[in-house]
Amino acid sequence: MASQNPSQSTSQSSGPATGDQRLDKDTRETLVSVARHGLLLAWSFVVLFPLYWLASMSLKPPGQANALPPDWLFLPTVYNYIRLAQDGAFLAAFANSVVMVSASVVLVLLIGVPAAYVLSRYAIPMERDVLVWILSSRMLPPIAVVIPFFVIFRSLNLFDTRIGMVFMYVSINLSLVVWVMKAFFDGIPETLEEAARVDGATRFQGFRKVVLPAAKPGIFSVAIISFIFAWIELLFGLVLTNFEAVPVTLFVYSFIGSRSIEWGMLAAASMAMILPVVVFLIAVNKYLAAGLSFGVVIKE
C-alpha cells in the first residue's frame, strides 16, 4: 500500500497542473487576441481620423470651420455642399476628371496588358533593358519632366485639351501596368494555353479566353491603382491645363488663396473628390485584395 501512494499522489498532482497549463494557454491566447485587436483599432483610428476631421469641417458653418479650439459639438449643415453643387466650374471640373481618368484607364489597359503578355510569353531581345526603359518613366520626379511635356503639348496643340490629359495619365500609369501585369502573366502556367491550342484555339483565342480570365484579379488591381493615381494627380493639371480641361484636383486647389483659405469649401470639395474613390474601392475591394496577393511568382 505504501508503494502505491507515490504513484497516486503523482497522478493526482498531475491533473490540476495540466488544467492550470491549459488555463494559462487560453489566457495568453485571449490576451494576445485582445492586444492585437486593440492595436488594429488604434491604427484604424489614426488612419480614419483625418477623414473624420475633413468631413466634420465640411459640415460646419463658415465661421466654425477653422475655429480654435475646434468645436467638437456642432449643428451640421450642408451649406458648403449646396454652394459646391451650384458652382458650374466645379461640376465641369468633376466631369472632366471622370471622363479623362476613365478614358485613360481604358487606354492604358488596352496598351499595357497586351504589352505585358508579349514580354512574358515571347523571347524579346534585351528584355531586361526594355523593362528597365519602361520603368524609367517612373524614376524621375514629375517636376523634372513637366516642363518638357509643356513644350511638347504646346507644339502639338494639346495644351488645355482633354485628349492631352488622357495621354498624360496614360504615360504616368503605363509602366505600372506593364510591370504588374507581366508578373501576373508569369504566374499563369503556359500549359493552360497549350491545352487550349491542342483543342484548336489560336494564340489570340488562348490569350482572350484562357489567360485574360485567369489574370482578371491583376487587371482589376492595375485598373484601380491607375484610376487613383490619375484621379489625385495635381502637378500636370496645374501646368498643362488652363480652362477647358481643368481636373477636379486643380479646382480643389483653387480654394487656397494667397491671403485666405476657404476651409469649409475646401473640405467639402475634398470630400466630394474623395467619396467616389472610396465608394469605388469598397465596391471592388475583393478584386483588389485578390490581385495584390496573386501573381507574385516570377518565371525564371
- Helices 88-121, 127-135: inter-axial angle, 10-degree rounding: 170
Q: Are 109 and 171 in contact (CB under 8 A)?
A: no
Written out in words, the top-level CATH class of the domain with range 81-292 is mainly alpha
From start to end of 69-160, where are the E strands?
A: none
pLDDT in tens, 92-150: 999 999 999 999 999 999 999 999 998 888 888 887 888 888 888 778 888 888 899 99
List beta partners, residue 261.
256
The Cα 217–Cα 10 span in angstroms is 60
State phi, psi for 59 to the nearest 5 degrees: -100, 5
At residue 261, the 3 state secondary structure works out as strand
Q: Are 58 and 264 in contact (CB under 8 A)?
A: yes
- pLDDT by residue for the chain (300 residues), tens digit each? 444 555 454 444 444 446 556 657 778 788 888 889 999 999 999 988 888 888 888 888 877 777 777 777 788 888 889 989 898 889 999 999 999 999 999 999 999 999 999 888 888 888 788 888 888 877 888 888 889 999 999 999 999 999 999 999 999 899 989 988 988 888 888 888 888 888 887 888 888 888 888 888 888 888 888 998 999 999 999 999 988 899 999 988 888 876 778 888 888 999 988 887 887 777 777 766 655 555 444 343
Q: What is the pTM of this model?
A: 0.79
Cell of 95: 466631369
Mean pLDDT of the chain, nearest integer: 82
Cell of 184: 501576373
Q: Are 239 and 160 in contact (CB under 8 A)?
A: no
Q: Are 230 and 173 in contact (CB under 8 A)?
A: yes
Cis peptide before 69 (omega within 30 of 0): yes
Quick one: how many helices (H) and strands (E) in the chain? Answer: 14, 0
Cell of 274: 474623395
Q: Which of 227, 254, 229, 250 is nearest to 238 (CA)?
A: 250
